[in-house]
Amino acid sequence: MKTDLYGLPVTCQNPSTCTAINDFIHGFLSYQPKATNILGAADADPDCALANAYAALLWMFLEAPLAPEKAAPYIARANAARGGITAREGDIIDAATAWTKGDVPRLLEICDHITTEHPRDMAILKLAQYHLFNQGDATGMLRMALKALPEAADIAYSHGMIAFGYEQCHLISRAEQAARHAMALQHDEAWAHHAIAHVMLTEGRVAEGAAFMESVASTWDGLNSFMRSHNWWHLALFYISLGRHDDVRRAYDTHVWGLAKDYSQDQVGAASLLARMEFAGVEVGDRWADVAGHIAARGGDTVNPFLSLQYLYALARTGRPEASTMMQAITRRSNDSTAHDHIAWRDVALPAAKGIMAHACADWSTAITQMARALPRMAECGGSHAQRDLFEQIHLDALVKDGRASSAQQVLEMRRTYDPDGVPLNLLLGDVYEKTGLPALAEEARGRAKSTLSSLHN
């Protein structure tokens, strides 16, 4: 029997289909566009169950309401070709089927079984981490990734996934160690770069983080739009903290927005970066219009609460009428008690959405109240610590705009624990201390910002 690139048996007679299976696995893990080769291979080889199951999974990563419809023909072909396949391949078909039906708990149950029986199945491990991440299960992410050891210790991608699991569990030193090990095995492991960016952002190693990400940025050039744009998004966060306004605008224009304007992750990456730029006092010009225009085409897309909230922010920020459509869709979704993620929509996404709408209307009091309800549980909607910080910044901006200087001071000093010398943070802190009658502390904060800016020219 033939095997895939990690030695797992595959039921496949056509050599070109086998190549496409390996392209999907490796492309999925490394974020290379060759993963899409599985679509043509599955169309050309309807009798290969695994190729068609992988093609269905690829369509589901579209993260759009039409994804299950696109995946359906491949699910049908995979099921029709079940005769003579391995138990693992049958499980992969079942996992893909569960996802198309919205049964994520069943999908994760299957993934858990597969990775226990086959620790070198990196594609299924990646699939499981993706879904655990989307529901805020950090310990689940780590547990799943650690199952790869020791059998998959030779695979750099296993250590990259372990690193991200550690980081999301706040085990920062272990995260960096795992990511560095992944890079020792394969220097261009983009997910390991991503984990190190998280580590350095969390530890306030801003200048070091920018330098590190710049040193590996050339390795992202041939990757798919998500990984290229997302790692540049992380680099842009360092630029914001350092007060490098021209660099953050250049990163946005060249690497964050414009690669795949219709893709969910590219849209929310652009929207969240623009929001952060504005909160930091970076002039963004007319950049909002193009992003919001593409997001508006989504209508009432509620495939994922974390994504929908960022769609809503972009639409509300630009005053587009589609914001009301999205708000109505979020409200309906929060009332759907049959969904596995109902509680996250009802108790977290809905108040956050109300806070976002209030913020756009300059109703600062309502924005503060609603965001404060959602913030302690935002992880249930998915996203990383760094990504969810957008909602913290919306809340902080409302506090400042509402004149609640004392409350804003509390938030800002807490934020300084991981961004001690950040330029926008300290400039804002200077204003807050001035308003609270503490001029000496205001001078200290502004001095920190000035020092960071001065260091860029030395």
Per-residue pLDDT tens for 138-185? 999 999 999 999 999 999 999 999 999 999 999 999 999 999 999 999
Residues paired with residue 2 on neighbouring β-strands, in sequence order: 10
Residue 457 clears pLDDT 80, i.e. is over it = no
Q: Phi and psi dihedrals of 419, rounded to 5?
A: -145, 60
pLDDT tens-digit profile of 208-264? 999 999 999 999 999 999 999 999 999 999 999 999 999 999 999 999 999 999 999
d(CA 257, CA 228): 10
User: How high is the pLDDT of residue 99?
Assistant: 98
Three state DSSP letters for the chain: CEECCCCCEECCCCHHHHHHHHHHHHHHHHCCHHHHHHHHHHHHCCCCHHHHHHHHHHHHCCCCCCHHHHHHHHHHHHHHCCCCCCHHHHHHHHHHHHHHCCCHHHHHHHHHHHHHHCCCCHHHHHHHHHHHHHCCCHHHHHHHHHCCCCCCCCCHHHHHHHHHHHHHCCCHHHHHHHHHHHHHHCCCCHHHHHHHHHHHHHCCCHHHHHHHHHHHHHHHCCCCHHHHHHHHHHHHHHHHHHCCHHHHHHHHHHHHCCCCCCCHHHHHHHHHHHHHHHHCCCCCCCHHHHHHHHHHCCCCCCCCHHHHHHHHHHHHHCCCCHHHHHHHHHHHHHCCCCCCCHHHHHHHHHHHHHHHHHHHCCCHHHHHHHHHHHHHHHHHHCCCHHHHHHHHHHHHHHHHHCCCHHHHHHHHHHHCCCCCCCHHHHHHHHHHHHHCCCHHHHHHHHHHHHHHHHHCCC
pLDDT level of residue 458 (50, 70, 90 thresholds): low
pLDDT tens-digit profile of 297-341? 999 999 999 999 999 999 999 999 999 999 999 999 999 999 999
Nearest residue to 25 via CA among 47, 15, 10: 10
User: How high is the pLDDT of residue 455?
Assistant: 85
d(CA 411, CA 394): 12
Token pair belonging to 259: 């690669």
Mean pLDDT of 395-404: 98
Give the up-direction half-sphere exposure of residue 70: CA atoms within 13 A in the CB hemisphere. Answer: 15
Mean pLDDT of 7-13: 96
Percent of the chain with pLDDT over 90: 99
How many of the other CB atoms lie within 10 Å of CB of 113?
A: 16
pLDDT level of residue 188 (50, 70, 90 thresholds): very high
pLDDT tens-digit profile of 281-308? 999 999 999 999 999 999 999 999 999 9
pLDDT tens-digit profile of 62-81? 999 999 999 999 999 999 99
Nearest residue to 239 via CA among 457, 454, 453: 453
User: How high is the pLDDT of residue 435?
Assistant: 96
Across all residues in the chain, what is the average pLDDT? 97
User: How high is the pLDDT of residue 1?
Assistant: 81
d(CA 160, CA 77): 33
pLDDT level of residue 456 (50, 70, 90 thresholds): confident
Give the up-direction half-sphere exposure of residue 232: CA atoms within 13 A in the CB hemisphere. Answer: 29
